[in-house]
């Protein structure tokens, strides 16, 4: 009788146990994870071993990567995309990586997988840049490149740059990152010397861009805000589905060539390219 009761209890326990998350097939979980954003996938991977294994599937992360990810791995990471898992590719591309002798940087936005690019002042052709009477390169932690070009004074201001890059389809915006005033630190606090700032509120600065597929944009404005970094919008360009797998050459410039007055006290940090949908976010 005792044996019969024991067998009955064991049988009852086996029927009463409910299925758990760990009982779901891993491939089913991977299919579900396709519908989540990358940060959400990483959180779900912490639930248990099955979810963690499902989150590693290449087909999950390939849908999150931009269509030009193979180009990015070769150009930015300098590696063969066939030798790295798709999750590792995504994770590594989300970290800013330098290329072209360290003068340019590219990264993916962690939440959306959209590509962003930044070009340092050292990658641009700047009038008088080698003459220390006009320009200096000053170190600062306020730049992602840890150095900016600082203009003391000049009559003819012109900065020109270009980038040849493969972009996924979409609309992109170009910005010059500038500051009126020379940044430094004093007694551990940020200070900005405005003594040499002049000439930028007299005539507008002209920003221009052009692309190898015929797109152009021009914008003009005077520079007023002092002591803070500002993103000045140059214009937008678009990559369609027919040209996303080819290199696009982008030329951009900033100039103030009215020689009736000098201008100075300007920091030129970089030029950045962001998806146009990020413009509202960048204003914050």
* Cβ burial 4-41 (10 Å sphere, 16+ → b, else e): eeeeeeeeeeeeeeeeeeeeeebeebbeebeeeebeeb
- Rounded distance between C-alpha atoms, residue 227 and residue 179, angstroms: 6
Q: Where in the chain do CATH 2.60.120.260 domains reside?
A: 115-282
What is the overall mean pLDDT for the chain?
89
Give the pLDDT confidence of 143-189 residue by residue, as tens digits. 999 999 999 999 999 999 999 999 999 999 999 999 999 998 888 88
> Cβ-count burial of 273 within 10 angstroms (0-12 exposed, 13-18 middle, 19+ buried)?
buried
At 9, is the pLDDT very low, low, confident or very high (cuts 50, 70, 90)?
Answer: very low
Average pLDDT of the residues in 252-277 = 96
- pLDDT tens digits for range 19-52: 665 667 777 878 888 888 888 888 888 888 888 8
- Mean per-residue pLDDT, 96-112: 95
Q: What is the DSSP letter of 18?
A: P
Higher local confidence (pLDDT), 198 or 55: 198
Q: How many CA atoms lie within 13 A of 147 on its CB side?
A: 12
pLDDT in tens, 217-251: 999 999 999 999 999 999 999 999 877 678 999 99
pLDDT digits (tens, 9 = 90+) for 48-99: 888 888 888 888 888 899 999 999 999 999 999 999 999 999 999 999 999 9
Given the structure tokens 């306020």, which residue do they identify? 142
Region 123-132: mean pLDDT is: 96
Residue 4 DSSP SS3: helix
Do residues 158 and 105 lie in contact, with contact meaning Cβ atoms separated by under 8 Å?
Answer: no
Q: Is the pLDDT of residue 275 over 70?
A: yes
Which tens digits make up the pLDDT trace of 116-126?
999 999 999 99
Return the pLDDT at 7.
52
Question: 77: how many CB neighbours lie within 10 A of its CB?
Answer: 17
Which stretches within the chain are classed as H helix?
Answer: 2-16, 26-33, 38-44, 49-54, 58-62, 69-72, 86-93, 279-282
Looking at domain 115-282, its CATH architecture is Sandwich (2.60)
Q: Quick one: residue 113, left, alpha or beta (phi over 0 = left, psi -120 to 50 = alpha)?
A: left
Angle at 137 between CA 223 and CA 95, to 5 degrees: 85
């Amino acid at each position: 009788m005792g044996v019969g009761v024991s067998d009955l209890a064991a049988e009852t326990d086996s029927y009463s146990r409910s299925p758990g998350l760990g009982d779901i097939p891993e491939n089913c979980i991977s299919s579900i994870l396709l519908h989540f954003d990358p940060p959400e996938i990483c959180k779900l991977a912490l639930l248990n071993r099955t979810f963690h294994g499902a989150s590693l599937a290449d087909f999950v992360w390939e849908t999150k990567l931009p269509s030009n990810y193979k180009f990015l791995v070769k150009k930015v990471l300098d590696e063969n995309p066939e030798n790295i898992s798709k999750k590792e590719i995504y994770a590594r591309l989300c970290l800013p990586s330098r290329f072209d002798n360290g003068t340019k940087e590219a990264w993916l936005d962690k939440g959306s997988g959209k590509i962003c690019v930044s070009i340092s002042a050292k990658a641009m052709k700047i009038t008088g840049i080698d003459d220390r009477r006009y320009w200096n390169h000053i170190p600062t932690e306020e730049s992602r490149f840890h150095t900016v070009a600082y203009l003391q004074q000049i009559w003819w201001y012109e900065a020109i740059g270009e980038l040849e890059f493969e972009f996924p389809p979409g609309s992109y915006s170009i910005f010059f990152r500038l500051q009126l005033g020379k940044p430094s630190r004093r007694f551990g606090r940020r200070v900005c010397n405005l003594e040499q700032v002049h000439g930028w509120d007299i005539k507008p600065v002209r920003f221009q861009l052009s692309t190898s597929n015929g797109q152009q944009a021009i914008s003009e404005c005077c520079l007023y805000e002092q002591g803070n970094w500002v993103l000045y919008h140059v214009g937008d360009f678009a990559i369609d589905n027919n040209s996303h797998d080819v290199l696009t050459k982008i030329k951009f410039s900033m100039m103030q060539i009215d020689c009736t007055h000098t201008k100075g006290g300007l920091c030129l940090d970089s030029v950045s390219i962001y998806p146009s949908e990020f413009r509202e976010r960048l204003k914050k």
